[in-house]
A and B are shown apart, each in its own frame.
Chain A
Amino acid sequence: MNLEKVVFAFFIILAATLNFGFVIGEIDNPLHHHVWEFFAAFVVNVVATVLKFGDRTQVGATHLATSLVALLQLAAAALIWTLAPTGPDGTIAPETMTSIVSLSAGALLANVVSVVILIVETTLQRR
């Protein structure tokens, strides 16, 4: 067992699971989508992207590409969350929530691709 591989797989899967946890629920209901879960998904995605830096292989390049896509989508969602007008008590309008969650759902798809690549890569290795 290789610790580097464990850490690598851990972050990729964690990025996908956190993203999934955030996205699941009614799309426009702010109660179903917690800001901390979004924050965690974002940070873990950044870490996963950094871990993918510098791999020269074709698989490595695809890995990095999926992470960059996920990060881009999440960054867009974060921007909306920061800039969108809130209600007097800090509540978020359902329309805003809808865009945030749909963008995050896109990121989730990229993360799922990343996990699939990880699994395929692992099964292709004989050891």
Chain B
Amino acid sequence: MNDAALVALRRLRAPIVLLVLVFAVGIVGLVLIPGTDAAGQPWRMTIFDALYFMSYTASTIGFGEIPQAFNTAQRVWVTLIIYASVIGWAYLVANLLTLAQDRAFRTVLEAGRFRRQVRALREPFYVICGFGETGALVGRALDTLGIRFVAIDISEARIQELDLFDLAQDAPAMIGNARDPENLVAAGMTRPQCRGVLTLTNDDQANLAVAISVRLLNPSVPVLARSMSRDASANMASFGADHVVNPFAKFGEYLAIAIRSPGSHRLMSWLTGLPGTTLEPETAPPRGHWIVCGYGRFGSEVVQAFRGQGLDVTIIDPDELDLGELRLVRGLGTDAATLERAGVRGAVGIVAGTDDDVVNLAIAVTAREARPGIFTIVRQNLRTNRALLEAYDADITMVSSEIIAHECLALLQTPLLGRFLETVKGKDDAWADRVIERLQAVIGVDVPDAWRVAMDAVDAPACCDALGRDDYPVTLADLCRDTTDRDRRLECVPLLLLRGTDSLVLPDETMRLQLGDEVLFAGRPAARRAQRPVLRNVNVRDYVVRGIDVPGGWIWQRFTHTTR
């Protein structure tokens, strides 16, 4: 029996006992009071007759089938028990209604439903702790990629919002504190299908608590934690979070890449883009004098990125800060005078990075007035202010939740993608532009899926079989052929080939594959599906690789003198 039923039964004890007693008294009365039959002879109900009568009267069904018409004494008694039983039923119904509205009872009901839903998950899934802006963004992206997830959030409103999301697959959701290990276990953290825990709350302490609980309760499950400061990141990493994402540090890192090699930045954001978005035009922060407004967690990362690229930076902050050699102008930056003092006329760009969206917009607007065409980077703190920032149209808008979502997608799709992106970080602009051009020619501008294919017996049994033979070369290009017309190309491109400890970036497609190779592909989801039969079905493999339709059966093979 589940918890909800137990609670219900316990709460309904009193009304049920009352009804039983009313029935008992009613039956006793009906049997004891003598009736009169049609012939005027005395007649008594049996206990069963009385129970039958009580059942249809007391439940207000009023069936009306009575063995004999009642006499006055019986009618008096029946009148009394009708009232008594109606009161009994009303009491029971009232209790049921109170119970249905009872908060504690509903919590128990919902917890039971949540557990059942989680137990019913047979596919791999992720647990998302904290379903705010970031969590919701990641959840939606996972859903689009066809990956299941379970959500926990402390706020009832956010969990209710999840119902309105119109997801392709049901996502079990629970209102509860993710710091409580019991809630994590209820969310399926210890189940074998759980592929990872993403802790994305806006509270570093809570994220740390989740990382620790997962590490202790199920060490095999990877944890991805969001953190808002370098200290917290270090703390989480030492407590066993596998990936720590600090949106400010990430932004700083990407900004540095964007300054050094805009193409690499463009390629990276495209490959980790949210499903349904497209390739963005290149944004290259210019070199020169920069102004950074607000020197907090965000501002300091940005300044570090600029300094790393050898750029000249002036900081505007209302507080007295000890910045060493950096120039500091006291103020908010929303007024022209402060910006003038910071040298806005000679600046190439400005970063509006305070934790107040209105202040950031004011800074950006004033800066554009003072120097038209200045490169603006605006930090957006709240998603609700999105319309304002879109209307302003900054060169770069920094949104924490989107940065974290990009990072999650890069890490979750396949670890090989992370490896590829690491290589991209070190490449120059021209290389990245060539890669984008090549990918765009095959895939188009939509954000591609990334997937891994391993040349082993599990992932590619058909190819594995061929690779064991010397006379059967399989190349990378063969894996990109359409299964219905081998001269047509699937919309996918191999990005990375892993052979032993060597990794080849953008491998030559005429290269012969070997057993144990791992390949990272980027392409349309349809191409990913179309590629599967080549790897698994020997007949499809024979057609795609050799171009011959080898008959499948033994008799046909004999008949046509073909063998595989």
Contacts and interface: CB of A to CB of B under 8 A. Distances in A.
Measured as residues with beta carbon below 8 angstroms from the partner, the interface class of chain B is 10 to 19
Contacts of B234: none
A96 B21 CA distance: 28
B20 interface: yes
B47 A39 contact: yes
A46 B13 contact: no
Contacts of B10: 53-55
B7 interface: yes
Contact of A50 (B11, B17, B23, B28): B17
A50 B20 contact: yes
B280 to A, nearest CB: 57
Interface of A: 35-36, 39, 43, 46-47, 50-51, 53-56, 78, 81-82
A71 to B, nearest CB: 12
Contact of B9 (A35, A36, A46, A53): A53
Contacts of A53: 6, 9-10, 12-13, 16
Contacts of B48: 78, 81-82
B6 A56 contact: yes
A81 B46 CA distance: 10
9 contacts: A35-B47, A43-B24, A47-B17, A53-B12, A54-B6, A54-B7, A54-B10, A54-B13, A56-B6
Contacts of A46: 20
Contacts of A55: 10
A36 B7 CA distance: 34
A50 B15 CA distance: 10
B299 to A, nearest CB: 55
Q: Majority SS of interface residues in chain A?
A: helix
Interface of B: 6-13, 16-17, 20-21, 23-24, 27-28, 46-48
Nearest to A4: B13
B46 A82 contact: yes
A51 B24 contact: no
B46 A43 contact: no
Contacts of B11: 54
A43 B28 CA distance: 11
A29 to B, nearest CB: 20
B27 A50 contact: no
B102 to A, nearest CB: 14
Nearest to A46: B20
A32 to B, nearest CB: 18
Which 9 pairs across A and B sit closest by C-beta, in order of nearness?
A54-B10, A53-B9, A43-B24, A82-B48, A54-B9, A50-B16, A54-B6, A46-B20, A50-B17
A82 B47 CA distance: 8
A53 B13 CA distance: 7
Contacts of A54: 6-11, 13
A35 B46 CA distance: 10
Nearest to A40: B24
Contact of B27 (A39, A56, A81): A39
Nearest to B25: A43
Nearest to B8: A54
B20 A39 contact: no
